[in-house]
Amino acid sequence: MAAFVADAFLNCYTYLFAWNAHNVNLGVWTAYLPFHNPAASSRYAESLLWGPPMYVYFCAGVAIVGCPAYFALRSHWPRLSNVSLLAIVFVGEFVFDFAVENAAIRLTHGYAYAQTYGPLTLWAGGQFQFPLYESFLVAALGLLYTWMRIQAVSSDDGLSPVERGFDRWRPALQSKVRTLAVIGFCCAATILIYHLPFNWLGIVGASTAHLPTYMWAG
Protein backbone atom coordinates (compact mmCIF):
# COMPACT_ATOMS: atom_id res chain seq x y z
CA MET A 1 0.00 0.00 0.00
CA ALA A 2 2.92 2.35 0.68
CA ALA A 3 4.24 1.61 -2.82
CA PHE A 4 0.81 2.30 -4.31
CA VAL A 5 0.68 5.70 -2.59
CA ALA A 6 4.17 6.46 -3.91
CA ASP A 7 3.08 5.35 -7.39
CA ALA A 8 1.60 8.80 -8.00
CA PHE A 9 5.16 10.13 -7.71
CA LEU A 10 5.72 8.82 -11.26
CA ASN A 11 3.66 11.75 -12.53
CA CYS A 12 4.97 14.34 -10.07
CA TYR A 13 6.89 16.34 -12.66
CA THR A 14 4.99 15.54 -15.85
CA TYR A 15 2.44 13.01 -17.13
CA LEU A 16 4.50 9.86 -17.73
CA PHE A 17 2.17 7.05 -16.72
CA ALA A 18 -1.30 7.36 -18.25
CA TRP A 19 -4.39 5.85 -16.66
CA ASN A 20 -7.74 5.05 -18.25
CA ALA A 21 -10.30 7.57 -16.95
CA HIS A 22 -12.89 4.77 -16.73
CA ASN A 23 -10.85 2.89 -14.10
CA VAL A 24 -12.38 2.55 -10.65
CA ASN A 25 -10.71 5.49 -8.94
CA LEU A 26 -10.94 8.32 -6.42
CA GLY A 27 -8.77 10.71 -8.39
CA VAL A 28 -5.09 11.02 -7.51
CA TRP A 29 -2.94 12.46 -4.72
CA THR A 30 0.04 13.58 -6.84
CA ALA A 31 -0.36 17.25 -5.87
CA TYR A 32 0.16 16.37 -2.20
CA LEU A 33 3.45 14.54 -2.71
CA PRO A 34 6.89 16.15 -2.20
CA PHE A 35 8.52 17.78 -5.24
CA HIS A 36 5.26 18.03 -7.20
CA ASN A 37 5.54 20.35 -10.18
CA PRO A 38 2.57 22.79 -10.01
CA ALA A 39 2.46 22.78 -13.81
CA ALA A 40 1.90 19.02 -13.90
CA SER A 41 -1.69 17.82 -13.96
CA SER A 42 -3.05 16.01 -10.94
CA ARG A 43 -6.37 15.26 -12.62
CA TYR A 44 -6.29 11.66 -13.81
CA ALA A 45 -7.60 8.28 -12.68
CA GLU A 46 -5.10 6.39 -10.52
CA SER A 47 -6.75 2.98 -10.53
CA LEU A 48 -7.69 1.41 -7.21
CA LEU A 49 -8.00 -2.03 -8.83
CA TRP A 50 -4.81 -1.97 -10.94
CA GLY A 51 -2.20 -0.34 -8.71
CA PRO A 52 -2.14 -2.36 -5.45
CA PRO A 53 -2.26 -5.82 -7.10
CA MET A 54 0.57 -4.90 -9.47
CA TYR A 55 2.84 -4.09 -6.56
CA VAL A 56 1.91 -7.41 -4.98
CA TYR A 57 2.65 -9.73 -7.88
CA PHE A 58 5.58 -7.77 -9.36
CA CYS A 59 7.32 -7.44 -5.97
CA ALA A 60 6.24 -9.96 -3.34
CA GLY A 61 4.80 -12.32 -5.95
CA VAL A 62 7.99 -12.71 -7.96
CA ALA A 63 9.93 -13.24 -4.71
CA ILE A 64 7.56 -16.01 -3.65
CA VAL A 65 8.00 -17.71 -7.03
CA GLY A 66 11.65 -16.72 -7.43
CA CYS A 67 12.80 -18.47 -4.25
CA PRO A 68 11.74 -22.01 -5.19
CA ALA A 69 12.96 -21.34 -8.73
CA TYR A 70 16.37 -20.33 -7.34
CA PHE A 71 16.67 -23.43 -5.16
CA ALA A 72 15.46 -25.69 -7.98
CA LEU A 73 18.12 -24.23 -10.28
CA ARG A 74 20.80 -24.64 -7.63
CA SER A 75 19.77 -28.26 -7.09
CA HIS A 76 19.82 -28.98 -10.83
CA TRP A 77 23.07 -27.11 -11.55
CA PRO A 78 25.05 -27.18 -8.28
CA ARG A 79 28.21 -25.88 -9.98
CA LEU A 80 26.61 -22.61 -11.08
CA SER A 81 27.67 -19.57 -9.10
CA ASN A 82 25.19 -17.59 -7.02
CA VAL A 83 25.48 -14.70 -9.48
CA SER A 84 24.59 -16.99 -12.40
CA LEU A 85 21.56 -18.38 -10.59
CA LEU A 86 20.30 -14.91 -9.71
CA ALA A 87 20.91 -13.79 -13.30
CA ILE A 88 18.64 -16.58 -14.54
CA VAL A 89 15.97 -15.54 -12.03
CA PHE A 90 16.36 -11.92 -13.20
CA VAL A 91 15.80 -12.93 -16.84
CA GLY A 92 12.70 -14.87 -15.81
CA GLU A 93 11.31 -11.88 -13.96
CA PHE A 94 12.10 -9.60 -16.91
CA VAL A 95 10.23 -11.88 -19.33
CA PHE A 96 7.31 -12.19 -16.89
CA ASP A 97 6.90 -8.43 -16.60
CA PHE A 98 7.31 -7.85 -20.34
CA ALA A 99 4.66 -10.43 -21.22
CA VAL A 100 2.14 -9.47 -18.53
CA GLU A 101 2.38 -5.71 -19.02
CA ASN A 102 2.20 -5.80 -22.81
CA ALA A 103 -0.82 -8.10 -22.62
CA ALA A 104 -2.44 -5.80 -20.06
CA ILE A 105 -1.99 -2.53 -21.93
CA ARG A 106 -3.10 -4.05 -25.25
CA LEU A 107 -6.06 -6.13 -24.08
CA THR A 108 -7.51 -3.93 -21.34
CA HIS A 109 -6.37 -0.37 -22.17
CA GLY A 110 -6.14 0.07 -18.39
CA TYR A 111 -3.02 2.19 -18.58
CA ALA A 112 -0.27 3.31 -20.95
CA TYR A 113 3.17 4.90 -21.02
CA ALA A 114 2.54 8.50 -22.02
CA GLN A 115 6.15 9.67 -22.30
CA THR A 116 9.25 7.48 -22.46
CA TYR A 117 12.92 7.50 -23.35
CA GLY A 118 12.83 6.77 -27.10
CA PRO A 119 16.06 4.77 -27.59
CA LEU A 120 14.85 2.22 -25.02
CA THR A 121 11.23 2.11 -26.19
CA LEU A 122 9.47 -0.42 -28.38
CA TRP A 123 6.63 0.74 -30.68
CA ALA A 124 7.58 4.36 -29.90
CA GLY A 125 4.88 6.94 -30.52
CA GLY A 126 1.96 4.53 -30.49
CA GLN A 127 -0.61 4.03 -27.78
CA PHE A 128 1.07 0.78 -26.80
CA GLN A 129 4.64 2.05 -26.73
CA PHE A 130 6.58 0.13 -24.12
CA PRO A 131 9.82 1.21 -22.40
CA LEU A 132 12.21 -1.72 -21.99
CA TYR A 133 13.56 -0.11 -18.84
CA GLU A 134 10.15 -0.74 -17.24
CA SER A 135 10.73 -4.48 -17.34
CA PHE A 136 14.40 -4.04 -16.37
CA LEU A 137 13.55 -1.94 -13.31
CA VAL A 138 10.68 -4.23 -12.27
CA ALA A 139 12.96 -7.27 -12.61
CA ALA A 140 15.72 -5.53 -10.63
CA LEU A 141 13.28 -4.69 -7.85
CA GLY A 142 11.80 -8.19 -7.93
CA LEU A 143 15.27 -9.70 -7.77
CA LEU A 144 16.10 -7.66 -4.66
CA TYR A 145 12.90 -8.88 -3.02
CA THR A 146 13.80 -12.42 -4.09
CA TRP A 147 17.34 -12.14 -2.75
CA MET A 148 16.13 -10.79 0.60
CA ARG A 149 13.65 -13.63 0.90
CA ILE A 150 16.37 -16.17 0.00
CA GLN A 151 18.50 -14.76 2.81
CA ALA A 152 15.68 -15.27 5.29
CA VAL A 153 14.82 -18.78 4.06
CA SER A 154 18.49 -19.83 4.09
CA SER A 155 19.36 -18.45 7.54
CA ASP A 156 19.12 -20.61 10.64
CA ASP A 157 16.98 -18.06 12.49
CA GLY A 158 14.74 -17.23 9.52
CA LEU A 159 15.75 -13.58 9.55
CA SER A 160 16.48 -11.36 6.57
CA PRO A 161 19.40 -8.90 6.84
CA VAL A 162 17.09 -5.94 7.50
CA GLU A 163 15.58 -7.65 10.58
CA ARG A 164 18.83 -8.42 12.34
CA GLY A 165 19.38 -6.61 15.61
CA PHE A 166 15.69 -6.58 16.55
CA ASP A 167 16.58 -8.43 19.77
CA ARG A 168 18.23 -5.27 21.11
CA TRP A 169 14.77 -3.83 21.61
CA ARG A 170 12.43 -4.58 24.50
CA PRO A 171 10.56 -7.88 24.03
CA ALA A 172 7.23 -6.07 23.73
CA LEU A 173 8.53 -4.09 20.74
CA GLN A 174 10.53 -6.76 18.93
CA SER A 175 7.81 -8.03 16.58
CA LYS A 176 6.81 -4.44 15.71
CA VAL A 177 10.44 -3.50 15.00
CA ARG A 178 10.86 -6.50 12.68
CA THR A 179 7.67 -5.60 10.82
CA LEU A 180 8.62 -1.94 10.45
CA ALA A 181 12.13 -2.91 9.30
CA VAL A 182 10.70 -5.02 6.48
CA ILE A 183 8.19 -2.34 5.50
CA GLY A 184 10.93 0.29 5.53
CA PHE A 185 13.13 -1.86 3.31
CA CYS A 186 10.28 -2.46 0.86
CA CYS A 187 9.44 1.26 0.67
CA ALA A 188 13.04 2.37 0.19
CA ALA A 189 13.78 -0.35 -2.37
CA THR A 190 10.64 0.36 -4.41
CA ILE A 191 11.21 4.12 -4.54
CA LEU A 192 14.97 4.01 -5.14
CA ILE A 193 15.10 1.12 -7.61
CA TYR A 194 11.86 1.66 -9.52
CA HIS A 195 10.17 5.02 -9.02
CA LEU A 196 13.16 7.37 -9.23
CA PRO A 197 14.90 5.76 -12.27
CA PHE A 198 11.60 5.42 -14.14
CA ASN A 199 10.77 9.05 -13.45
CA TRP A 200 14.18 10.30 -14.57
CA LEU A 201 14.19 8.28 -17.80
CA GLY A 202 10.67 9.44 -18.62
CA ILE A 203 11.43 13.10 -17.97
CA VAL A 204 14.50 13.10 -20.22
CA GLY A 205 12.62 11.10 -22.85
CA ALA A 206 10.84 12.56 -25.85
CA SER A 207 8.79 9.62 -27.14
CA THR A 208 5.18 10.75 -26.65
CA ALA A 209 2.39 8.22 -27.07
CA HIS A 210 -0.61 8.98 -29.26
CA LEU A 211 -3.27 8.34 -26.62
CA PRO A 212 -7.07 8.19 -26.85
CA THR A 213 -8.94 10.96 -25.02
CA TYR A 214 -9.87 8.72 -22.07
CA MET A 215 -6.17 8.54 -21.17
CA TRP A 216 -5.46 12.26 -21.28
CA ALA A 217 -4.69 14.12 -18.07
CA GLY A 218 -7.27 16.76 -17.15
Tell me the C-alpha distance between 76 and 165, whole Å: 35
Q: Yes or no: say if 76 and 28 are a contact pair by the CB < 8 Å rule.
A: no
Judge whether residue 88 has pLDDT over 90: yes
Question: What average pLDDT does range 110-117 have in this prediction?
Answer: 97
Q: How many domains does the chain have?
A: 1
List all residues 6 or more positions away from 108 whose beta carbon is below 8 Å from its beta carbon: none
Helix (H) or strand (E) holding 38, with range, is none
Tell me the C-alpha distance between 78 and 76, whole Å: 6
Number of H helices, E strands in the chain: 7, 6
Residues 16-75 have pLDDT tens digits of 999 999 999 999 999 999 899 999 999 999 999 888 899 998 888 888 899 999 999 999
Domain that holds residue 43: 2-215
pLDDT computed for residue 63 by the predictor: 86
pTM (predicted TM-score): 0.94
Q: Which bin fits 116, alpha (ψ -120 to 50), beta or left (φ > 0)?
A: beta
pLDDT computed for residue 59 by the predictor: 85
Torsion angle in degrees (nearest 10) through CA of 80, 82, 84, 86: 140
